[in-house]
Chains A and B, each alone.
Chain A
Amino acid sequence: MRRRTLLTAVTLAALVRPMTAIRPALAARPQGLILPDRPKPLPPLMIGDGEGEPVPLRSLPGRLIVLNLWASWCLPCLTELPALDRAKAALAAEGIAVVALSLDRLGRSAVLASYAKLKIRHLDVALDVGREAGTVLAAPSLPTTLLIDRHGNEVARYVGAAEWDGAAAVALLRALAAGESPNGIPAPPPMRTILL
């Protein structure tokens, strides 16, 4: 049976030959909660606010940092931003920091326009000043959210939009902030993008 599957596949691959095969673009890439085998040390990355001097990502305080990569042209990102805004307000007292890092080329003005449109009240402006976040953090799609422990290690990442202010997300963030293993904690549910 397996061999037949393989033969069928090979035959069809030969038929596909003239075309570059359709890569189910990014849809087939892993989405949702991804846990690395071991905590991954964060590469150096500078974060700015468009006004003051940029600071290293590693210098941000917090027992846990929720680093969300987003952009104004990314609809799923805009869908999830209000949830991150609420999560920031709810979890700040526990030392859980939420940082929404914009990959927008236009920087602060693009961020402020999106914040105004979405009625964001708590998130600060955070800019990928070197325009390298996507590359150095190995995030070829947005939104991608990295969960970073107090030692500056990536302990989990979430690809796609999630309900960051929901019970599942809050439980996950609290466990990670306490240095507990995320294994066995249900992943936060994805958030549906509002299209058109």
Chain B
Amino acid sequence: MVWLGDTGKDGLMMMSRWGVAAIGLGALLLASPLATAADERISGRFILESVAGLPVMDDVYEGKVRMITFGYTYCPDICPTTLATMAATLDKLGAEADQVAPIFITIDPERDTGPHLKEYLAAFHPQLIGLTGKPAFVAGAARSYKVAYRKNPPTDGDPAHYTMDHSAGIYIMGRDGRFLAKALHDSSVEALTAKVRAALR
């Protein structure tokens, strides 16, 4: 095992040498090897699909502060509480929540179909917006947020039981769509609410 400094603001991560090599290769394939500082900017652009199957571009949320996270709904052993934190934040914002677009973008469009996403997100908060899309478009959205992900083979032989690794965190985008801040996936409701409120000012 080796320890690596994360390139983002996520603190440390740990993985095997082979894991590191695999990600290095993945990064080469996904991102330009000649990336410059300008490329590190989080553009936040995407063309995805709503849970009803309609095309959705990032600019439909123009005028709203966006709270965006990437993930997938099938948690095989533990489930992150990120969406519950986003839901509690919306409640805490009160009337101000109307000016916020809380968005969950799946990095597992194969299993997270529109109807499934809709049902899953309804358990957290009625305002949550689920986005999915064709794999190439999901990959494009992830690139816009510097989010990396990969599929892990299933351990039990059932091809449907694969897991996903992905960058965690919640992106706060301003009313004009510009990246403002990133909150850690295990942020407290207070911390996330403060970040969103700051973006609303």
Q: Do A and B come from the same complex?
A: yes
For B95, the chain A residues whose CB sits under 8 A away are none
For B150, the chain A residues whose CB sits under 8 A away are 22
Identify B123's interface contact among A9, A110, A195, A196, CB under 8 A.
A110
For A105, the chain B residues whose CB sits under 8 A away are 84, 87-88, 91, 123-125
Distance A102 CA – B32 CA, assembled complex (angstroms): 45
Min Cβ gap A190→B in Å is 7
For A25, the chain B residues whose CB sits under 8 A away are 71, 80, 164-168, 185
- The chain A residue with its CB closest to the CB of B126 is A105
B165 to A22, Cβ gap below 8 A?
A: yes
B148 to A5, Cβ gap below 8 A?
A: no
Task: Kindly specify which of B22-30, B47-55, B58-66, B172-180 makes contact with the partner chain.
Answer: B22-30
Distance A76 CA – B123 CA, assembled complex (angstroms): 16
- Known contacts A9-B20, A76-B78, A131 near B188 by CB under 8 Å: no
A5 to B160, Cβ gap below 8 A?
A: no
Chain A 164-186, CB-CB to B under 8 Å as 1, else 0, gives 00000000000000000000000
Q: B17: CB under 8 A from chain A? A: yes
Distance A166 CA – B40 CA, assembled complex (angstroms): 50
B74 to A195, Cβ gap below 8 A?
A: yes
B81 to A139, Cβ gap below 8 A?
A: yes
Chain A 72-108, CB-CB to B under 8 Å as 1, else 0, gives 1111110000000000000000000000000111100
B10 to A27, Cβ gap below 8 A?
A: no
Tally of contact residues, B, Cβ under 8 A: 66
Distance A22 CA – B26 CA, assembled complex (angstroms): 10
Task: Kindly specify which of A12-20, A44-52, A117-125, A149-157 makes contact with the partner chain.
Answer: A12-20
Q: B129: CB under 8 A from chain A? A: no
Identify A141's interface contact among B7, B14, B35, B79, CB under 8 A.
B79
Min Cβ gap A36→B in Å is 18
Identify A75's interface contact among B2, B75, B80, B88, CB under 8 A.
B75
Q: Write 20 A-B pairs (CB below 8 A) sorted by A numbering.
A: A9-B20, A12-B20, A16-B24, A16-B27, A20-B7, A21-B4, A21-B10, A21-B13, A22-B23, A24-B13, A26-B80, A131-B91, A134-B81, A140-B185, A140-B186, A141-B79, A142-B78, A144-B78, A195-B74, A196-B160
B-side residues, CB < 8 A to A, are 2, 4-8, 10, 13-15, 17, 19-21, 23-24, 26-28, 30-33, 35, 39-40, 71, 74-85, 87-88, 91, 120, 123-125, 146-150, 156, 160-161, 163-169, 185-186, 188-190
A-side residues, CB < 8 A to B, are 5-6, 8-9, 12-13, 15-29, 31, 71-77, 103-106, 110, 131-132, 134-135, 139-144, 159-161, 190, 192-193, 195-196
Question: Apart from A13-B7, A23-B6, A105-B87, what 12 extra A-B contacts exist at CB < 8 Å?
Answer: A9-B2, A9-B4, A9-B17, A22-B166, A26-B168, A27-B77, A28-B15, A31-B77, A76-B77, A76-B78, A77-B79, A105-B91
